[in-house]
Amino acid sequence: MYFANPSPLGLRSIPFAIVALTIGSLLVTSCQPAKPSVKIGINAELTGEMPAVGASCKQAAQLFAEQVNKDGGIMVGGTKLPVELSVVDNSCKADQSAAAAQRLISQNGVLVMVGPDASSCAIPAGELAESLGCLMISPWSTNPKTTQDTQTGKPKKNVFRACFTDRFESPVLAAFATKNLHAKTAAILYDVTSEAPTSQSALFKEAFEKAGGKVVSMETYSTGDRDFSAQLTKIRESAPDIIYLPAPYNDTPLIAAQARQLGIKAPFLGSDAWSSPDIIKLDTGKNLEGSYFCNHYSTEAATPKAKQFIADYTARYGNAPDDVAALTYDAMVLASQSISSAGKVDRTAVRDAMAATRTFDGVTGHFVYPEGSRDPEKSAVIMQIKDGGFHWVSTVEP
């Protein structure tokens, strides 16, 4: 049987059997299920107070996915499955972080969620991940509450982290202040409305005084504040040897500039929240020159594994990775190893595989997860801002 008349496209005498076969083939192809993939969600601070943090997180996750997929994907039960990323912006806000977690887990159906990074975002997102039974690994959240069950105080089942906690970082900084900087008195200025700085300040005060120092001034501000003159005037009157400032990278240069304008000459000591290179770009007056802070890794004290990551990241994005990028990459590797060990695309099995992880060698160093703990024991580094860059000073083991 043939088509007797020309088609609108000018086709003549096309055998019906061929047309039917072609259409049937298209229908069969369109009905075939898509190739299975491993869905990993990225809950990141792409906008809001800390966009540089979200950018580093997203870029490291994308680099990992590209590298794994180039090799065929993650081995799951004898078959390599490609990684499919689902990236959602949490705007660096607690409520939106929880909403992002809900969307990733319930709507997008991710197997694992990496992020959020900021503790104020990771804590509420972790509550959602826990209730929905999905493995979550926060790369950068140091607040102990992130992995703790708020009701029992025990570790959550589904929430892990790739970084050390405030309980380790704060004593490290206190010891450095007293032993290396020979500080006997300290002032503290922190954002009382943010989880990580509040936790870090309390723990630093405890550790500093335990080491023989004295906190002579403890001042607070709120997220979004831009005038710190009242707090800094009180700090100036207390004449501290050092000022502990666990503020984010975008607040710190402004605070330091106002402090110097008031004649405060005491050196600043910062937390891992200083780790973005943007802090140096924003410090146009070089008021942070010579200051120290605690960090998760250093490009100057990198292992062979870290050097390879640094080279790959730099080639891909044109700049060296900060600690958020390095920690995110480690979180992605931990997630992929757990998926591979589980041997199936199943949230409970993947969570159990992560819970069974005891040691891990990553870009940011050697991890030890004690049995039952969701927090790794790992080293920290002390960095100094000097000559327009971050420079490694020392490494502190747990």
pTM score: 0.90
Q: Could you tell me how far CA 15 lies from the centroid of its own chain? A: 61
b/e map 346-384, b = 16+ CB within 10 Å: ebebbbebbbebeebebbbbebebeeeebbbbbbbbbbb
Under 8 Å between Cβ of 110 and 40: yes
Res 5: pLDDT: 41
Say if 38-164+303-378 and 167-295 have the same CATH topology: yes
**Could you tell me which residues come within 8 angstroms of residue 39 by beta carbon, excluding any fewer than 6 positions away?**
84, 85, 86, 108, 109, 110, 111
Domain boundaries of the chain, sorted by first residue: 38-164+303-378, 167-295
DSSP secondary structure letter of residue 225: -
Beta bridge partners of 112: 40, 135
> What was the pLDDT predicted at 153?
87
Which residue numbers in the chain have pLDDT < 50?
A: 1-32
By the 8 A CB rule, do 217 and 188 touch? yes
Q: What is the second-level CATH architecture of the domain 167-295?
A: 3-Layer(aba) Sandwich (3.40)
Mapping DSSP to helix (H, G, I), strand (E, B) and coil, where does residue 181 land?
A: coil
Q: What pLDDT does 150 receive?
A: 83
Contact present, 301 and 392 (Cβ < 8 Å): yes
- One-letter-per-residue 3-state SS of 284-348: CCCCCCCCEEEECCCHHHCCHHHHHHHHHHHHHHCCCCCHHHHHHHHHHHHHHHHHHHHCCCCHH
Give residue 162's pLDDT. 98
Give the model's pLDDT for residue 34.
Answer: 61
Domain 38-164+303-378: assigned CATH number: 3.40.50.2300
Residue 151 has a pLDDT of 86
